[in-house]
Amino acid sequence: MTVSIETTVVGGGENFMGELRTSEPMSRHTSWRTGGVAKHFFKPDNLEELAVFLRQRPADEAIVWVGLGSNLLVRDGGINGTVICTSGVLGKIALLESDLIRAEAGVPCAKLARTSVRYGLGGAEFLIGIPGTVGGALAMNAGAFGGETWPIVEAVETIDRLGRRYLRTPEEYRIAYRKVEGPINEWFVAGHFRLKIARDDGLKRTKALLERRNETQPTGQASCGSVFRNPEGDFAGRLIEACGLKGVSVGGAVVSEKHANFIINRGDATADDIERLIQLVIARVEAEQGVQLMPEVHIVGDAAPAESAQG
């Protein structure tokens, strides 16, 4: 199907510039490289432009935030609303104090890990293993290699639908494993991370973690990272592998042979293929292991019409 793409300059009663696209294929913006189109797709140049844009959106319009597009499955019917993309735009990172780093929502987690090491700070090395951005890490308390995002957060900056910005502390949120709850209708636009003065070679640590990731995970392939949360006291990958599900496929989607908690798009997978494979894995693990796996990936958007899904 041919999709028309239109790029415009957003304007209005307030003076700012920003890029707004219509009918934007989300396959271009997700690490699974599949999914339908977004009705509107906006990339602000800065937080001020973002505030003005949000004030202009209808109050009932759905808004979906996207960073690097990892940990996200957009259904084939697309998103009947607005996607706000932070990747490549909200990317400022700065040292506020000797051990305090501010990073905007679009900063890749791996960049924050490397920058902290260059500043001689420790405690954020685990972020090298997270394939998303700071905004996504804050939204879900992302973790890797035994570390989690929120234990190093001193404050967060948020924005609401009216473009109002807030500085909030962790005490204003309920933080759990891969789950964050706080003020409604606010989104993270930056985080302040309190780290420690490193006493050893942080560069060597991040390099070792990156090598470990490359050895154990299917990097370089179209995946979302880990699909399922680890159940308490166990690992989702172990449970999936124990059910003999490595290599099992639905359409163009397949459970990775290298790490069972990864689903790979072999090149022609639809979002429906991936979602059906997720449900197959959940059903098999529950039937054979007595554990109900919970998806870590966020699934958004509308299903494709039946005739489109069959085609």
Enzyme catalytic residues:
178, 226, 296
Sheet holding 6-9, edge to edge: 6-9, 18-25, 37-44, 79-85, 63-66
The three-class DSSP label of residue 30 is coil
What distance in Å separates the CA atoms of residue 207 and residue 128, rounded to the nearest whole number? Answer: 9
CB 160 within 8 Å of CB 65: no
Cα–Cα distance list, 75 to 30, 32, 103 (Å): 11, 11, 30
HSE value, Cβ hemisphere, 13 Å, CA-based, for 257: 2
Cα–Cα distance list, 67 to 29, 104, 156, 173, 175 (Å): 8, 11, 17, 21, 21
What distance in Å separates the CA atoms of residue 81 and residue 60, rounded to the nearest whole number? Answer: 9
HSE value, Cβ hemisphere, 13 Å, CA-based, for 217: 23
Cα–Cα distance list, 77 to 38, 49, 245, 250 (Å): 9, 29, 28, 19
The three-class DSSP label of residue 5 is coil
CB 177 within 8 Å of CB 229: yes
